[in-house]
Amino acid sequence: MHHPRTLRLVPLACLALAPFVAGRPTLASSQRRTPIVAAVQKAQPAVVNISSEKTVAGRNGWTNDPNEPQRVNGMGSGVIVDERGYIVTNAHVVDKVTSLRVRLADGAVHSATTIAMDRATDLALLKIEPGKPLATIPMGTSSDLMIGETVIAVGNAYGYENTVTRGVVSAINRTVRLNDEMTYYDLIQTDASINPGNSGGALLNIDGDLVGINVAIRAGAQGISFAIPVDTVRRVTAGMLNIQRLSHAWHGVEYREIPDPASDRIDVAVQRVQGPAQKCGFQAGDQVLRVGDAQIRNAIDFERSFLGNRPGDHKL
């Protein structure tokens, strides 16, 4: 019979301390600051840890009534996409929960509200009120991912906050059937270690840019994990951030993203204009570079640049 192994913690006072050696540098050397370290430092401030609570029916330790409600705690991860506190995570992380708390990388904890969900892609948009501008996740593209390239997962693995693991892109365009109701399409497969609690967290490339949102693992397997491509995340998130959905206002621009291989920008090209956009002189084929003070590098930038404005406001 195999017994669980016990981890014995040793008091710090019992550990032998290495003597200080004169002249030894106290700061990390350039050799220690690898590209992986730099990538994590770039993106980690915009990765959050999510804890939730929901009420479910089921037997508990105090009664034998199978319908007696129980409170169940959950955990997940997310990424900040707007400095005002908009956060993207998986829909299954926040589905049917009664309360949500978000812990930022600096340790601050905030209550969160679910703003929108897209169950077809398993993505959701949360909102917190941080009281100050937040760091946002650097956006990359999944259109040029290479099999074998290094990727880094950051998230709340098993409740161990801000856990970092690394691996490679094992495959792209994977179709994964979860059950009769849910099938994922076009997923990134990676061997970066992803565990319960990583859902909704960041999958980064070696430059520290977001290339995917971690979503699932293969039960019983080792090194088979999946992420939603960031190109899908941008498209769905832009729709959830649309001011018409959130504020019942309308900018009248229909557009599509066009990756620019010469830069890190994803061009936003106008496809069709109606109403306000038409009155302002927009035409199909125009490229949006700036809205007000906001530089437009992708669809999320475009949609969030309108947040906080009212009908009649001008954004030049």
- The question of whether 52 is a catalytic residue gets the answer no
Of 82, 122, 209, 301, the catalytic one is 122
First to last CA, the chain: 72
- The question of whether 122 is a catalytic residue gets the answer yes
**Which residues contact residue 292 at a Cβ distance below 8 angstroms, ignoring those fewer than 6 apart?**
305, 315, 316
The answer to whether the CB of 173 falls within 8 A of the CB of 143 is no
The full DSSP string for 235-284 is HHHHHHH-HHHHHS----EEEEEEE-TTSS-EEEEEEEE-HHHHHTT--T
Of 199, 225, 251, 301, the catalytic one is 199
The answer to whether the CB of 217 falls within 8 A of the CB of 194 is yes
Alpha helices in 140-254 (DSSP H): 230-241, 243-247
- The question of whether 199 is a catalytic residue gets the answer yes
- At CA 184, angle to CA 214 and CA 208, rounded to 5? 25
The answer to whether the CB of 199 falls within 8 A of the CB of 225 is no
Of 92, 225, 251, 301, the catalytic one is 92
Q: Exposed, middle or buried by CB within 10 Å (0-12, 13-18, 19+), for 182?
A: middle
Alpha helices in the chain (DSSP H): 35-43, 91-94, 230-241, 243-247, 275-279, 299-304
Residues with active-site annotation: 92, 122, 199
